[in-house]
Structure formats: structure tokens, C-alpha cells
Amino acid sequence: MTIPEMATAVCIRCGFLKHRAFTRCRKCGYCPEGDRRAKAQSLLLSTEYHDAETDRRPTRQELALVAERIRSGVPVPWDEATIARLIAEQELLEQGPPPRWRDMIVIGLLFLIPLASLVVIVLDWLL
């Protein structure tokens, strides 16, 4: 089986070839959104995945073989260590960047200035 030029990913549910790892499958309708493990598996079955240790991406021929396995009902031998690493990376990305100190100082001042003004007004009223 040959993969069409634009297809770069395999649906982890039905083995249908699709354009991107996280898009909805046009054949079975499955979309990996909301499921971190499914997103990691979908990424592994796409040319979007780059293994930094081996400096390679899955080839179209490798994806075609895995697609055929899935369509035939043969389980995919997932690399659990890689899936765990990808899930951990997803969690870090979902947290967003850590707050920057400058932003924290500005936000702090926005709260402290009105509070200090209120304290001055109350002290002036009491004395």
C-alpha cells in the first residue's frame, strides 16, 4: 500500500490515512483531543513526530505498515516509555510558561497601590 502524498498520519482507531496527527478521522470520526495517551499515540503515528535521540521521523512506508496492522486488527506494539514522555511533555505545555517576575511585580503593584491608598484614607479618618 502506498500513502498519498498529503497523508502524513494514521488514525489509531481504524488505520485510515489522514493529513495531521490530531485531526478528526474522516473514516471513523475519531479525534484524539482530550485524551493525552491517544494524542501521544497519534503523534507517534505521524510524520510530525521527531525522535530527537535517533534524529528521525517515521517514514511513509512505516506508517503504511502500521496502518495495515490496525486495519487488520493486529495490536500496535507501543513504546510505553516514549508515550509516558510525550504525555509528560503535553502536561508541561498545558501548564503554560511560568509567570515572569516583571509580570508578577506589576500585578502586585496593581493590588498594593489601592490597598496602600485605602490604609492612608482609613488612618487619616481615624486620627
* pLDDT tens-digit series, residues 30-67: 999 989 999 999 999 999 998 888 889 999 899 999 99
Q: Is 58 left (phi over 0), alpha (psi -120 to 50) or beta?
A: beta
- What CA–CA distance (Å, rounded) separates 86 from 22? 14
Nearest CA to 76 out of 32, 10, 4, 18 is that of 10
Taking the whole predicted model, whether its pTM rises above 0.75 is answered as no
Q: For residues 13-51, b (16+ Cβ closer than 10 Å) or e, as one string?
A: bebbbbeebeeebeeeebbbeeebebbbbbbbbbbebee
What's residue 6's pLDDT?
Answer: 62
Grid cell locating 125: 479618618
- What CA–CA distance (Å, rounded) separates 48 from 127? 69
- Please determine, for residue 4, whether its predicted confidence score (pLDDT) is greater than 70: no
